[in-house]
Structure 1
């Protein structure tokens, strides 16, 4: 009789016999007299696994904040009662307390119940860096689950579409187009990247007379301070700065992609990001002005929640428009996708809600025939989490690699094939979980100033002092 026979005769007794359970020195009658949990345990005793997943419990969560990867990245470690740990990562330059405040809400939970725990902590995340805590914890849960069942994370997401993940690289910028292009060409030759992105902001043309109007009150247009004042250029939404780009300014900006095309050719896609805070009319004109360079995309020309403005830009130019790195959760992407306000979505796995939520964003985008890029600028932990999502998501295009200038970057972890960047791709590991472990000495050497290596966090064990439910 086949195990797949639909006959009523195929009851529990026949299933146990067909599975050969009696050959293990225990009779079928003896097994049938035991509780169902014991029956299942006996039936699956030869299944490979690293633990008893149904009995896993979270016992601790600690943080190690690493600097210069290229930014500051809080690494999350979740420990269990069975001696296995999982790793995740809070968004670059985000506060580690976004994750620590969640500890009291996950202690004692089974980490394999990822979706259940995500729904418990989801309400404590938000857009931008505020999504970092929930996202980092969620990554660590998937790493733990994969290790517990001895399968890679991509398999838990439904399997993979690809064995390697295409990367696009960012690079340190330059104030001169030719120097910038030379730096990018060098990186392409060294690492084999097949997709590149450059940051070309209006601050690069600020000192050239006649390139901008309305920029006077804003000084040098710096926008990268960690906590800029509320009345600063960096904290002012694009339409409210009063800045517009002149025709001369458009021509000066165009010199950058022109030099890049001269250096790298036309086969390699080229995206542009961090262009600056200016009005929607200049955004439309700039997108049209740069059409001759066949850009892969222009990124974040307006704040992501300015849906009508994004729609206006997208509808006015053949240059693809992309946004999404600061959006938390799949629901934040729905208006963009339903309104077809952009050509590509671009979630950051460390803001979007982690591994499964980023996968859901990609699947929702595919329903609207929109491809998904993935933004990322942290350590190899989040990079590999993003790689597993990329492998398991059909409409994935390319994943950001922002750490080519960081000499110690891949030395932070072990267990993965080296070099991590191989001819412009990550290889997707078949090892359990995310496939990596930390190299303690290297991480300790690069801790942020004043930080300790996974110091105790007992003060957060009983931090939950509120009634969390959001409904009555």
Structure 2
């Protein structure tokens, strides 16, 4: 049985000029980064995963917990992670430790698939489909230029690419939200789904005013309307909002995810596999969502490794409670922001065509890093 011989981190960063920074209501960034987690087995097989957040902090947590993993089976990563939580419970679960464990989990699944000759989708539930729907995630606030002009410039190139849905950033103030939503609707037309994301920048009263203004434009979901831990706010919002609510990208481990799902505090649950606990937790979240008849749509905003994991995860999900006719397919977030870490780091990127991402067919995640490109963006 393949055992873990070593775990290492490859820290990546892609930067744009400061005047080309882009982002959300809480702020902009000129840098995109991520930590690629590499799990090496005693048989020479390597699995890759992704850990969200600052790689230097992730590396310090790896120094703490690596000994727990070395020598164990790649199939036993779940038990090791639970042991770490039990022994180091004082550290909490909203931190880079959980992001690290998420990346290790995905890397172990990649290695498992390579050992068994199975894709991750087949490994975690059976491949239910060969391609998954993707929504165009962008519509960012920008550092320079007229915000309506830059929003249009971000949306227009993708209107004819077959996307089922588009997402734009809002959340700086309700009046501006309405202007951005009205413009987006004019550009993408009435057939495409439109979702919005305020990244938790509002208090309850601000969200209600924002919803009042934008609901007439046909909002498919309103993402992160409140801060992640505003549990009472989400409970009240669910009874008063006139648009569907989506959240979950900033929740770590199954514990907070379960609280969100059990309370039916969102219509669409959005785990991020690079920080929620990896594929193991995502599978549990998927089961819990099915039990509560809630939709799920994984958040992706890092490197292509996290995107590959999300594609395999969605490919493994059954259509329940639907059968022949699925009103809205489960969608993967496909970032339209400038980010070389998404596709350029692979020898062959995940293929996109007519609004869908093809599920890689090779063993494990089915993607291979391009060493030269990875070296170009590696930082110490």
Q: Same fold (TM over 0.5)?
A: yes
Alignment check: 8 A CA contact 1:166 1:425 kept: yes
Aligned with 2:243: secondary structure? coil
TM-score by structure 2 length?
0.84
Deviation, structure 1 residue 403: 5.1
Matches within 5 A, 1:375-454: 375-394=299-318, 397-402=330-335, 404-407=337-340, 409-414=342-347, 416=348, 418=349, 420-448=351-379, 451=380
Seen in structure 2, the aligned counterparts of structure 1 residues 376 and 199 have a Cα distance that, compared at 3 Å, is same
Moved more, 70-79 or 437-446: 70-79
* 2-structure distance, mates of 1:193, 1:446: 29
Seen in structure 2, the aligned counterparts of structure 1 residues 252 and 83 have a Cα distance that, compared at 3 Å, is closer
Write out per-residue CA displacement over residues 345-396 of structure 1, whole angstroms, 9 at most, x where no aligned residue. 1111111100121121021011111100110111111111111111112357
Matches within 5 A, 1:44-193: 54=1, 56-68=2-14, 71-93=32-54, 95-97=57-59, 98-123=61-86, 126-127=93-94, 129-171=96-138, 172-174=140-142, 175-189=146-160, 191-193=161-163
Alignment check: 8 A CA contact 2:125 2:317 kept: no
How big is the alpha-carbon RMSD for the aligned residues of Structure 1 and Structure 2?
2.2
**Equivalent residue for 1:209?**
none
* 2-structure distance, mates of 1:100, 1:187: 43
Matches within 5 A, 1:276-291: 277-291=201-215
* 2-structure distance, mates of 1:275, 1:430: 34
Alignment check: 8 A CA contact 2:224 2:246 kept: yes
- Which of the pair has more CA radius of gyration? 1
Seen in structure 2, the aligned counterparts of structure 1 residues 119 and 318 have a Cα distance that, compared at 3 Å, is same
Alignment check: 8 A CA contact 1:91 1:350 kept: yes
Seen in structure 2, the aligned counterparts of structure 1 residues 325 and 430 have a Cα distance that, compared at 3 Å, is same
Alignment check: 8 A CA contact 1:90 1:99 kept: no
Deviation, structure 1 residue 423: 2.6
TM-score by structure 1 length?
0.69
Number of residue pairs the alignment of both structures matches: 346
Matches within 5 A, 1:289-368: 289-368=213-292
* 1:201 maps to which of 171, 177, 185: 171
Alignment check: 8 A CA contact 2:175 2:210 kept: no
Runs of 4 or more off by more than 6 Å in structure 1? none
